[in-house]
Amino acid sequence: MFMAPKPIEGEKRVFMTGNEVVAWAATAAGAEIMYGYPITPQNEIMHYWTRMAPKYGRKFLQTEDEISAGFTTVGGVLAGKRAFTATAGPGNTLMQEPMSMAEMMRLPTVLVVTQRGGPSTATVIYSQQELTMTCFGGNGEGMRIVYSTSGHQDLYDYTIKAFNTAWKYRFPTFVLGDGYQSKMREPVTIYDPEARNISMVPAEAYMGNPGTPGVDRDPVHLRNTYNMEEELLKVINDNMATYESIAPEIVEYQEEEVEDAEVLLISHGIVSRAAQGAMKLLREEGFKVGYFRPITVRPFPAEQLRERAEKAKCLLVIESAYGQLKRIVTDSLYGCTTTIKSYMKPGESVTVEEVVEKVRSLY
Amino acid sequence: MAKGARIALAGEGGQGVQSVAEIITEAAYEEGREALYIPNFGVEQRGGVSVAYVQISDEPIGSPKFKTADIVIALSPRAIERTKKYVGNETIFVYDADMEGVEESLPDNAAKVLAIPAIRIAKEELHPRVFNVVIMGAVIGATGVVSLERAKQAIEKKLGYKFEKDPSLREMNFKALEYGMRLVKEKEL
């Protein structure tokens, strides 16, 4: 097994950009290789990784485009490497092809996405418009795990966790950040996973293992091509059954003041910081407002949300996209009669003040 | 206004507003405060208005952008247009006094609107290259978010390698910082 030199002993408090945070987290998690192709706003993940890689015995390959970066990540995983890549916007679009292959073959790829505006090239700054694509992109069924981060501590914690989730459950795993998180600087505690009793799930080679297939060991038969509809159906059904059975252990969410909430604010990622701030201010003014944030946007904490939603009078979905989160919420709550309102700003950020104003207008 | 501050800093690309924001937040972090800085950036390699959003507080900071700033500093006519929307009735709006024909576009809802001759002072009494340090001094003078000592340490950290080659640069940068602080204090904030 690959024993990587440690970049961090114990833990330390630092002040850095989110892109740096991701590079440190991947290094601390023992990632062995990054495959990458540059695109704003995540370029510096690659830059910091390439700076750190030689120091800590890691590798890097710059490919000719994102399709290739995605497929080489798939290749790295097949060879038993804890491999990852990172991209954004149009790059995420191109990576859907390799990621759907990873989904079909149940490969533990790790992809860090820092959302930018869309459609197409749009802005290089920020959005939450890659939610649907990251959860359900490609010609597949969304058998993926997607952690939506809200800041630097999340970026660090969930980048490390993504490798473990991926290798434990063998489904492609995503860290869904955004350009703000990429570029902003804020304090964060970085640590050696071992110092927090987090042990890294070992990576194993799928192919090229010693022995004669069928004699010394079972043959490896990895497929992404099927001749018969029936064959494919069986594989998808089996994989989906596995996915659904593990989903309850993977689901994560955060909530506050939900018990007596009349208005429940639902948001993910960095927008949840505005929602949480607004909730606090509104509570001080006497408004019964609660806060619910899915951390895994896929699988989605549907049951948990339903329980809270049924007790509330109104749900307010807040997002920097045109209803991408709202669609997941609506689907999860089918049959629940609580009113669902939304505050949608595709490609633009949301401030505390706006949320406060919007909630007041609901009363 | 020593406690916390929300600062929007805007200028033309190359005027150095992002470095100012970076140094101030770094200094505040080193002083044990909560600090968050986010640059606004576009697809251009150069040119265009550059905006930096800085928040310093004693509480953990929520969303990286805000609706209303405590202090807005605009260093070009386009930057005035761009940052007007962050002005509220408690905002101090600072702009460079050498801009001509901007009176019409200045915000009319700010608590105070201050014109400071930063560009001229940097050019005539210091060196044009320390213009952004004068601005940094003005931000610190207006908000008190970090101490002068800590600000100097942060500059040292960022530019120390240049100061080693030419110690007179250190003196000039520190002088620019103090000059900037005085500029706003003279306006009796």
Q: From A186, which residue of chain B is nearest by alpha-carbon distance?
A: B36
B41 CB near a chain A CB, below 8 Å?
Answer: yes
- Give the ipTM of the model, two decimals please: 0.89
Beta strands in chain A (DSSP E): 11-17, 33-36, 59-62, 83-87, 110-115, 145-148, 173-178, 185-191, 253-256, 263-266, 289-294, 296-298, 314-319, 339-344
What's B104's DSSP letter?
A: G
Query: How many CA atoms, within 13 angstroms, populate the side-chain half-sphere of residue A61?
Result: 17
Which residues on neighbouring strands pair with residue A343, listed in sequence order?
Answer: A318
**Chain-centroid distance, C-alpha B93:** 11
**How many interface pairs between A and B have CB atoms less than 8 angstroms apart?**
69
Q: How many domains does chain B have?
A: 1
A282 CB near a chain B CB, below 8 Å?
Answer: no
One digit per residue, the tens of pLDDT, for chain A of length 363 reads: 567 788 999 999 999 999 999 999 999 999 999 999 999 999 999 999 999 999 999 999 999 999 999 999 999 999 999 999 999 999 999 999 999 999 999 999 999 999 999 999 999 999 999 999 999 999 999 999 999 999 999 999 999 999 999 999 999 999 999 999 999 999 999 999 999 999 999 999 998 889 999 999 999 889 999 999 999 999 999 999 999 999 999 999 999 999 999 999 999 999 999 999 999 999 999 999 999 999 999 999 999 999 999 999 999 999 999 999 999 999 999 999 999 999 999 999 999 999 999 999 999
Q: From A280, which residue of chain B is nearest by alpha-carbon distance?
A: B62
CB spacing of A353 vs B66 below 8 angstroms: yes
A271 CB near a chain B CB, below 8 Å?
Answer: yes
CATH no. for residue B14?
3.40.920.10
Report chain A residues whose CB lies below 8 A from the CB of B38. Answer: 180, 183-185
Q: Report the greatest alpha carbon distance in chain A.
A: 72
Chain A closest-CA separation from residue B74 CA (Å)? 21
Q: Could you tell me how many residues make up chain B?
A: 189
Chain B closest-CA separation from residue A40 CA (Å)? 9
A349: alpha, beta or left? (left if phi > 0; alpha if psi -120 to 50): beta
Chain A closest-CA separation from residue B124 CA (Å)? 34
In order of A41, A84, A167, A190, A247, the CA distances from A199 in angstroms are: 31, 18, 12, 16, 21
**What domain range includes position B116?**
5-185
B88 CB near a chain A CB, below 8 Å?
Answer: no
Q: Which of residues 185-214 of A touch B (CB under 8 A)?
A: 185-187
Q: From A353, which residue of chain B is nearest by alpha-carbon distance?
A: B67
A234 CB near a chain B CB, below 8 Å?
Answer: no
Which residues contact residue A165 at a Cβ distance below 8 angstroms, ignoring those fewer than 6 apart?
Answer: A145, A171, A173, A250
d(CA A310, CA A49): 46
Chain A closest-CA separation from residue B161 CA (Å)? 20
Domains of chain A as residue ranges with CATH: 11-196 (3.40.50.970), 253-362 (3.40.50.920)
Q: Is A32 exposed, middle or buried (0-12, 13-18, 19+ CB in 10 A)?
A: buried
